[in-house]
């Protein structure tokens, strides 16, 4: 990842060690995901140090939710997908199933998550997430 300033240009870069496809930022940390490596890496934006990493099956998108990360994953053949919640390097919950190649997501509010898959955009009510 390269840090830029519109006036000063390139301010530095962080080698994330994977082929990043999706990125999310929250509270001084950023997460990048690599679909082919099935990996998510989380870094401190200031130091560039890796905070955590975990495997997620065919991860397509990432988003932060409080102290956890939500990963949009393709779980198997024919594009079936799910949303999974991770804390550190451990999956703690499967939030939603039945997505078709989930691509990306964004929190609309603390308790509503919008997810785009290949055919639709869905909004989920998020209940009892850590």
Instruction: Write out the two tokens for 13.
Output: 């870069």
The answer to the question of residue 41 being in a domain is yes
pLDDT on residue 127: 62
Over range 29-53, report the average pLDDT.
Answer: 89
The answer to the question of residue 98 being in a domain is yes
Half-sphere exposure of 74 (CA within 13 A, CB side): 19
The answer to the question of residue 112 being in a domain is yes
**pLDDT tens digits, 91-126:** 999 888 888 888 778 888 888 888 888 888 888 877
Total domains, the chain: 1
**pLDDT tens digits, 7-23:** 555 556 777 788 888 88
The answer to the question of residue 109 being in a domain is yes
The owner of tokens 């955009």 is 121
The candidate with the shortest Cα–Cα distance to 69, out of 47, 89, 86, is 86
Percent of the chain with pLDDT over 70: 84
The answer to the question of residue 56 being in a domain is yes
Q: Note down the domain range covering 67.
A: 2-125
pTM of the model as a whole:
0.80
Q: Is the pLDDT of residue 128 over 60?
A: no
CATH code of the domain containing 67: 2.120.10.30
The answer to the question of residue 130 being in a domain is no
Q: Is the pLDDT of residue 54 over 90?
A: yes
**40 contacts 49 by C-beta, under 8 angstroms:** no
3-state secondary structure of 78: helix
């Amino acid at each position: 990842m390269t840090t830029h300033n519109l006036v000063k240009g390139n301010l530095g870069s962080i080698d994330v060690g994977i082929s990043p496809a999706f990125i999310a930022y929250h509270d001084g940390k950023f997460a990048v995901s690599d679909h082919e490596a099935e990996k998510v890496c989380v870094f401190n934006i200031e130091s560039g140090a890796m905070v955590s990493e975990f495997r997620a099956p065919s991860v397509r998108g990432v988003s932060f939710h409080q102290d956890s990360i939500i990963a949009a994953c393709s779980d198997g053949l024919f594009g079936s997908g799910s949303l999974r919640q991770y804390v550190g390097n451990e999956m703690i919950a499967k939030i939603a199933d039945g997505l078709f190649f989930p691509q990306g997501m964004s929190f609309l509010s603390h308790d509503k998550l919008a997810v785009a898959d290949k055919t639709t955009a869905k909004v989920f009510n998020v209940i009892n997430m850590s």
